[in-house]
Amino acid sequence: MRALGVIKSKILVEENIISKCGKFILESVKLCKVLIISDRNVAKIYLNIVSRELEKLGFQVQVFLINPGEQSKSFKTAEKIYNSLTLNFMARCDLIVSLGGGVVTDLSGFVASTYHRGIKLVHIPTSFLAMIDAAIGGKNGVNSKYGKNLIGTFYHPCLVLIDPLALKTLPPREFCCGIAEAIKCGCIGDKKLFKILENQDFYNNIEEIIMRSIRVKKNLVEIDEQDFGSRVLLNFGHTIGHALEKIGNYKKLSHGEAVSIGMNEITKISESMNLTRFEVLPRLKAVCRKYFLPTHNNFPSNQLQEAVLHDKKILNGYLNLVLIKDIGEGFIYKIPDKEFINFLKNKI
């Protein structure tokens, strides 16, 4: 078992921890009512194990299932969950257990933080992205018609249980999505993690990869919990990535695929500005390809420029770009948006 603390959350990583989750949850909270929130795909595989575990120990378990997919991350779904919590007379001392990917952890975190101004929360992330990213660091959110994750809070689960064996049932495309974020973590803050992803067998090193990715996020989140400064480094590949996702209407590219292209394209630009060492780009490209992630943008350049300009991260005509000097060395580079758009025109 590997353990780590991130702000107020205890994080445990161990194979098969899902089938032993009851005892770890009982170490963190007293016996109470529990609402397990999951999606229908994940529930088919893991719900019985988790609810049986909790009931065995004396928890009173209720379940709320959502449809899989981003469209469930809405106010409408949140409201249905609030109603379910109310009808089950759940109070602040009771518990929400999220069981699923990033959609489930984000939505559950938002509901947990707002119901009765904060009810206890345990995450059991089952997708790779949720294990190393969504369930870590306390950000949650729902989407509005104006954009993704526009409404949310910072709220920390007391416990995060990560079972690498759950990845065995994850569809391959979802898996690669998470790998893009792990590569990102290696790029901005952990050379060794990058090397493991680059040279070693993924499954033989899965716990190490999860722990190292979480540690990169932990280090940035703990000095910048509310996302004003160094946490920005976690956006490496995301300025272009978000724009690409948007152009593709969130259908053509998954988040991970878009981030993979974003990391490669931004590094191409920073290399041309002499801000990145020359060995970096070929290594980045190769590691992305190893995991079947795309590295090149196929959308028309003018659409990309427009989408980047509309991104909320442009402040007073300047953009805070996240670049890497070398593998493991991320930094923030402030650039006038017009200059950046010129680079997009000429280099991509």
Binding site for ligand ADP (CB under 6 A): 39, 41-42, 45, 68-69, 100-104, 126-127, 129-130, 134, 166, 169-171, 174, 177
Taking the complex as a whole, the smallest distance from the CB of residue 104 to ligand ADP amounts, in Å, to: 6
Please tell me the distance from the alpha carbon of residue 79 to that of residue 88, in angstroms, as a whole number: 14
What's the residue count for the chain? 348
74: left (phi over 0), alpha (psi -120 to 50) or beta: beta
Query: Residue 184 Cβ, how far from ligand ADP at the closest point, in Å?
Result: 14
CA 334 to chain centre: 25
Q: Which is nearer to ligand ADP, 135 or 220 (CB)?
A: 135
In which residue are the tokens 């053509």 written? Answer: 252
Nearest distance in Å: CB 80, ligand ADP: 17
- For residue 100, the minimal CB distance to ligand ADP (Å) is 6
Task: State the nearest-atom distance from the C-beta of 214 to ligand ADP, in Å.
Answer: 15
Q: Do the bridges between strand 142-144 and strand 9-13 make them parallel or antiparallel, or are there none, so unpaired?
A: unpaired
For ligand ADP, the closer of residues 70 and 326 by Cβ is: 70
Query: Residue 305 is encoded by which pair of tokens?
Result: 């420029």
Tokens 């469209």 sit at which residue? 71
Do residues 10 and 214 lie in contact, with contact meaning Cβ atoms separated by under 8 Å?
Answer: no
CB of 177 to ligand ADP, least distance (A): 5
Q: What is the DSSP letter of 69?
A: S
Our CB check for ligand ADP shows the closer of 42 and 344 to be 42
Cα dihedral 198, 200, 201, 206 in deg (nearest 10): -90
* Residue placing its CB nearer to ligand ADP in the complex, 177 or 304: 177
Query: Which alpha helices (DSSP H) does 92-205 contain, by range?
Result: 102-114, 128-129, 172-189, 191-199
Alpha-carbon distance of 324 to 273, in angstroms, equals 12
